[in-house]
Amino acid sequence: MPEPINLPAELIVVTGASSGIGRATAQRLAADGFHVLAGVRNTEDAAKLASRNIEPVILDITDADTLRALAIRVADDEGGRPLRAVVNNAGIAVNGPVESVPLDEWRRQFEVGVIGQIAVTQALMPALLAKGGRVINIGSLGSKVSMPGFGPYSAAKFAMEAVNDALRREMAPFGLSVVMITPGAVSTGMTEQGLKTIRRLAQLMTREQHGRHDKLIDAVEAQVETFARDGVKPEVAAAVVSRAISARTPRTRYMVGRDAAVLARIVRFIPARLLDRMLRSQMGLA
């Protein structure tokens, strides 16, 4: 007689699971014993990710049809399993000087980084409320300090802090926990994507903007490469997500990496103009 297989008792949705923090988180939560619905945007990534306790689902968080399909998949789960948590992880990095990043690129950053996160949360809210679920938002140190050249990305992450806090305060009476995870630098594919984007956008700058910002663009590229080199592995972030999901009473915020823990604390006490000088000098712009 074959051994009876214990099916995972609870579902978790992870967005942006094709790479980086999302993939490590899906794998970690599957190993923790959850059934993970892992959001990916194409069938190749789905095939690579599928494994025990990981069920890839096609999900573009800016696409209403795939969001609807996800909500139906969760609601119609064959085992009637509850949704323990959604991990709002999917993200992109649009970087460049505020004055030159085209408005459509600002919109794209906000569409994915803010509206998409809210759309996923809204789509899954009935399932999350059914059994005291959790919303885990993956923030960034970029929401604590807005570095020159990182305006669009930081703006979206700052906005998500507000969304996160409002949601937590609104939904606590209904048993929903809302948690912000703030990683510092993590070595992932975001480096490559961010570099490609800033180089593409730099080509659209006017001659005057080039005159003002070429040094800044170089500094942003160098900074992104430093983040990638010095960043922690995505598994470190995944372990923190796992803790936030498994804790009986999760904290409202978790930091990932020493850079995040230290910087997030000290920037609150440094006068703005001193911080301006420190950041410019650290990027070699002073």
Ligand X SMILES: NC(=O)c1ccc[n+]([C@@H]2O[C@H](COP(=O)([O-])OP(=O)(O)OC[C@H]3O[C@@H](n4cnc5c(N)ncnc54)[C@H](OP(=O)(O)O)[C@@H]3O)[C@@H](O)[C@H]2O)c1
Residue 139-158 contact track with ligand X, rule CB under 6 A, x = bound: -x------------------
Residue 16 structure tokens? 């942006």
Among 12, 13, 14, 15, binds ligand X (CB under 6 A): 15
Q: Does 89 bind ligand X (CB under 6 A)?
A: yes
Count residues near ligand X (CB under 6 A). Answer: 31
As beta bridge partners, residue 134 has 85, 177
Task: Please name which of 204, 216, 109 lies closest in space to residue 152, comparing C-alpha atoms.
Answer: 109
> Which residue stretch of 68-76, 182-190, 198-206, 239-247 sits at the interface with ligand X (rule: CB under 6 A)?
182-190
Give start and end residues of each alpha helix (H) in 78-150.
103-110, 116-130
Residue 207-226 contact track with ligand X, rule CB under 6 A, x = bound: --------------------
Task: Compute the distance between CA of residue 234 and CA of residue 262 in angstroms, rounded to an integer.
Answer: 19
Clarify whether 254 is annotated catalytic: no
Q: Shortest gap between Cβ of 6 and ligand X (angstroms)? A: 29
Q: Does 112 bind ligand X (CB under 6 A)?
A: yes
Distance of CA 51 to the CA centre of its chain: 23
Active-site position among 34, 150, 153, 254: 153
Q: Site residues for ligand X, window 242-281 (CB under 6 A)?
A: none
> Which residue stretch of 98-106, 121-129, 203-211, 227-235 sits at the interface with ligand X (rule: CB under 6 A)?
227-235
Phi, psi of 86 (to 5 degrees): -115, 135
Among 34, 150, 227, 254, binds ligand X (CB under 6 A): 227
Say which residue the tokens 């570099």 belong to.
195
Nearer to ligand X, 20 or 133 (CB): 20
> Which residue stretch of 54-62, 68-76, 165-173, 239-247 sits at the interface with ligand X (rule: CB under 6 A)?
54-62
Residue 177, SS3 per DSSP: strand
Distance of CA 274 to the CA centre of its chain: 29
Torsion of CA 241, 24, 63, 119, to 10 degrees: 0
Residue nearest to ligand X (CB): 20
Residue 149 structure tokens? 């050249």
Residue 94, SS3 per DSSP: coil
Instruction: Answer whether 231's CB lies under 8 Å from 185's CB.
Output: yes
Residue 191 structure tokens? 């480096």
> Which residue stretch of 10-18, 49-57, 198-206, 241-249 sits at the interface with ligand X (rule: CB under 6 A)?
10-18
- Binding residues vs ligand X (CB under 6 A): 15-16, 18-22, 39, 41, 59-62, 89-92, 112, 116, 138, 140, 183, 185-186, 188-190, 193, 227, 231, 234
Which residues form the catalytic set?
153
